[in-house]
Chain A
Amino acid sequence: MSQKRKRMTRREFLRDAALATGTVALAGMIPTQARAGQASEPKLGARLIGKLEGPELVLDPAKWPKKFNEAPVLAELVKAGKLPPVEKRIPEEPMVVKPVHSIGKYGGTWRRGFTGPGDGENGNRIVSTDKILFWDYTGNKVMPCLAWDWKVSDDGRVIAILLRKGHKWSDGQPFTADDFIFWYEDVYLNKDLQPTPNPDFMVNGKPGTLRKRDDYTVVFEFPDPNYLFVDILAGSTAMGGGQATQQHFNRTMGAYMPGHYLKQFHSKYVSREEVDRKAKAAGFDGWVSYIKNRWDWRLNPELPVLGPWKTVSPINTPNWALERNPYYYGVDTQGNQLPYIDRISMTLAENLEVLNLRAIAGQYDLQERHTGLTKLPVFLENRGKGNYDVRLDPALNGSDATLQTNQAYEADPEIAKWLQTRDFRRALSLGIERDQLNETFWLGVGTPGSVAPAESLPYSPGPEWRKKWSTHNPKQANELLDKVGLSKKDGEGYRLRTDGKGRLRLELLTAAGAFIPHTQIAEMIKEQWKKIGIQGDVKEVERSLFFTKIKGNEHQISIWLNDGSEVLYLFPRHALPVDPVEAMLGHPIADWYASGGAKGKEPKDAQLKKALELFRTAAGKKTQERYKIAQEIWKIMVDEQFSIGTVGQSPAAMGVRIVSKKLGNIPSRQVNAQHARTPNSSHPATFYYKA
């Protein structure tokens, strides 16, 4: 790109970006709101957001390849007698993947950046084909993964999954139902390792069970209908998240574990003294900490895994490196064992600026994590020099900066009363000029509107709910505020409290160091609210203090993403107050919901209570009914404006993809969502180096 021009104005940049690329097709979700005077300028998003595409699984056994090939490095090992031939390493029912563009070539090292041992998801998401079930590239349809098929009984109480015959761990040992039994009996039911049962393995608060029908069939049973469990197994959940994600950082879930390897660290199979001695020798305080360290794939290169790559240099070093798993169960349509790429090398960046600079310098081959949307102009400017392309993957959630009103707030009764008044919330929403926010903070590529998820999802209540109470209408907002009894104003035009204690001030709580500049967004909203006479007070705190304050029920309105809410049942936390870990609409309400009314506080608002009741019934319903219930819930949430949406469906989080021009089989757009384990729905095992 132009070396001479060091600085561009935004307008120049938009025009330049629009002219620079030519071929990318228009996606369905491009924002169409152009501000007056800019209508004729082509939008940036239109040029960088491609067509949603991705690899597909071949499910018909008749179309599966009969002969298999392998990577040259593995062929050498076979020749030397150090590895069995490829036919013996692939299951009888392999996962056959049709790559998105073409059959690839073997070899190469995929260079990425990571930010330290807290950045486990960086690698977890790449090896997420270690999940029991998964989604297709649209993120809407459940697909086989480790299990090649699944059966749900008519009453929804019994879910059986069928494993692949001859499937092997990365050390060559068989992967069977016994690995599920080991996890269930020796980890999940062991009180030292798992003190409390996990809600993902329960229905209506009653625990499920797991048993082995034969070597290749595992059966989950529940006392009540649990049709949702298939989605749970496919989602990024405690039961279905897979080995890498659910067993990293001391986690204990994931439904299966390599029993043959882990038994040597378990007090049931080796004497307690012996395992404790081993743990102490390695610097751990006891066998529990040690076995949890041993089953963490990021830390233990010896751990047998099922994903396409395994760790060779652990995450707590400056270079987290992965190498191909010679027993990976996926092949392409011509029978080439996946993955194509030999090695993944992630280098430590002590801060995000360095990571982004390295991306600009072309030091990463594919990076969608930690690359910021606000840096897009610089990414585009250096495309030629760094030999990379930029792709934007909009997310599916409705709002990247959601104003969550605390429905259980108590500290200030006057404020609490207004937060619980529907017309007051609607007025706040109508006072926000979302187009201005979009242009300023999302470079115009987001979609302004309510909190409802993208229209492409079955959970969406319909396009009319995007705009409902979510447009800029200060006149209507002022009328609503006058009507509810806030008509008195002070000399500067701000509305006064009704208890005579001066100006009505609303606190907007934001977290420092969030991926989206929530504080700056809040400042702009504060300016916009001047027109409706509402005084906002932006209060920025450190990130963990932010969550602590919310948990302490101290906030009036907090601002955070509603990511994950697009798959309402798998991750309701950002949509409804149901999870005691995080509930921005009011922690006491979540405690009340989770404890079945024993703890916490019942919501005062009848509509909110209705939404929670609808949510509670959903697990026992079949898929189509569940979608209908979700739509009902979203209609309530948008109509009531408990959560005020601003701009969403944007690539701001994990959606700015820097792709080396050397790489092949890269979808021009991929689904950007937590349940789809972005970029895993694009099957990174099919990425390859063209030359």
Chain B
Amino acid sequence: MLAYLIRRLILAVLTMWAVSVLSFVIIQLPPGDYITTYIAQMSASGSFVSAQEAEALRQQYGLDKPLYVQYLRWMALILQGNFGMALEYSRPVAEVIGDRLWLTMVVSVAAIVFTWLVALPIGIYSAVRQYSLGDYIATFVGFIGLAVPSFMLALILMYLGFTLFNANIGGLFSEELAEAPWNLAKLWDLVKHLPLPALILGLAGTAQLIRIMRANLLDELGKPYVVTARARGLPETRVIVKYPVRVALNPFASTIGYLLPYVVSGSIIVSLVLSLPTVGPLLLKALIAQDMFLAGTIVLLLGVMTVIGTFLSDLLLLWIDPRIRFEGKQ
């Protein structure tokens, strides 16, 4: 068991290193660098940069150095616990991400909770009452949820919110509270703004989850142990919830690995459309601006999250499923 854990740990560290190299290289792949992007942006916004200024900036950021030197510098910084300076923001990367990180988590967790609360009961219902009217409706709604891109849904809901209710457009806070220090009013404001993004983000996942739950449960329901339980006269609810549902939940444990990075930076496009102050839009803008410190750190963070998540789900499966546990021992 210990050897298994150590092996996984060493693999995890190597994976993270590979992720760091890959993320740095990929960000550098497009032609030009941050200064090129900056010049282009200035040109498009009615201002300009002179050749002398551009050269001075390249020297200041070390962009005139070869790629591997830039990478080693970045790594040296990271090992000291410093992620570098976000070029566009002129602030340490850790601060820029930190600002948005926990708001991102609030939104994502809300979306996940919404997904589970809605999807699991409906999934169970659809499986137990297969081919009933309710199952058809749930299936229909589920497939629509899967088929409609969430950014589209976001646009439509935002438009309806504006025309019908004159609601605030985008964001997580009302304008007057955006910069206010934290208090009850601001918290309440956040709670009021949360349902729309949670609904939009959650809906696509909901459809998927309903289908998975339904399929898994249908597999289980016909199995002899269920028939036996019924034959022994257990109440129907207990028969279903206590045994087959538990087994059907198994695949969810193995997807936790993907849930963690999602919590940090799921939903880039939806966040962008809804103008949410989360990590997603930050990553997109950093990539467009070729800000390799900021983008690199976020990508690295996502990589680390995936690795940790996978590790966790491995452990969880080990615990839930005796078959894996015994295989590990052999």
Contact = CB atoms under 8 A, between A and B. Distances in A.
Interface residues of A, number: 74
A238 interface: yes
A548 B35 CA distance: 11
B56 A545 contact: no
B228 to A, nearest CB: 56
Interface in A85-132: 111, 116-119, 121, 124
A543 B52 contact: no
B175 interface: yes
B44 A514 contact: yes
A292 B90 CA distance: 10
B4 to A, nearest CB: 40
B169 A358 contact: yes
A362 B216 CA distance: 50
A479 interface: no
Nearest to A313: B179
A283 B92 contact: yes
Interface residues of B, number: 58
Interface string A349-369: 111011001101101000000
Interface in B298-324: none
A317 B100 CA distance: 10
Contacts of B37: 543-544
Interface in A555-591: 560, 563-564, 571, 573, 579-582
A197 B170 contact: no
Interface stretch (B136-144, B234-242, B267-275): B267-275
A199 B50 contact: yes
Interface in A224-277: 236, 238, 245, 249-253
Contact of A318 (B45, B85, B179): B179
Nearest to A321: B179
A677 B114 CA distance: 49
B129 interface: no
A196 B47 contact: no
A350 B271 contact: yes
Interface string B7-48: 000000000000000000000001110001111110111111
Given A118-B41, A289-B60, A347-B175, A197 B90 contact: no
A299 interface: yes
Nearest to B284: A350
A197 B171 CA distance: 44
B158 A357 contact: yes
A319 B179 contact: yes
Interface string B252-287: 000000000000000000011111110001000100
A145 interface: no
A275 to B, nearest CB: 16
Majority SS at the chain A contact face = loop
A624 B274 CA distance: 53
Contact of A121 (B38, B45, B82, B285): B45
A582 B39 contact: yes
Given A118-B41, A545-B30, A196 B55 contact: yes
A361 B288 CA distance: 29
A349 B85 CA distance: 23
A81 interface: no
A128 to B, nearest CB: 11
A186 B55 CA distance: 20
B179 A581 contact: no
Interface in A620-672: 653-654
A287 B47 CA distance: 27
B275 A547 contact: no
A190 B85 CA distance: 24
Contacts of B326: none
Which residue among B46, B50, B175 has the maximum number of chain A CB atoms within 10 Å of its CB? B46
Interface string A500-518: 0000000000010011000
B41 A654 contact: no
Interface string A138-159: 0000000000000000000000
A253 to B, nearest CB: 8
A178 interface: no
Contact of B90 (A251, A293, A349, A546): A293
Interface in B81-139: 82, 85, 88-92, 95-96, 99
B79 to A, nearest CB: 15
B158 A581 contact: no
B199 to A, nearest CB: 18
Contact of B88 (A116, A195, A358, A654): A116
Given A238-B53, A547-B43, A581-B51, 12 more contacts: A117-B88, A249-B90, A283-B91, A347-B175, A360-B162, A361-B162, A514-B44, A542-B288, A543-B41, A547-B39, A580-B51, A581-B48
23 contacts: A111-B175, A121-B45, A124-B47, A196-B56, A200-B50, A253-B53, A299-B90, A350-B275, A350-B277, A354-B170, A354-B274, A357-B162, A514-B44, A515-B44, A542-B30, A544-B31, A544-B39, A547-B32, A571-B48, A579-B50, A582-B39, A654-B46, A674-B46
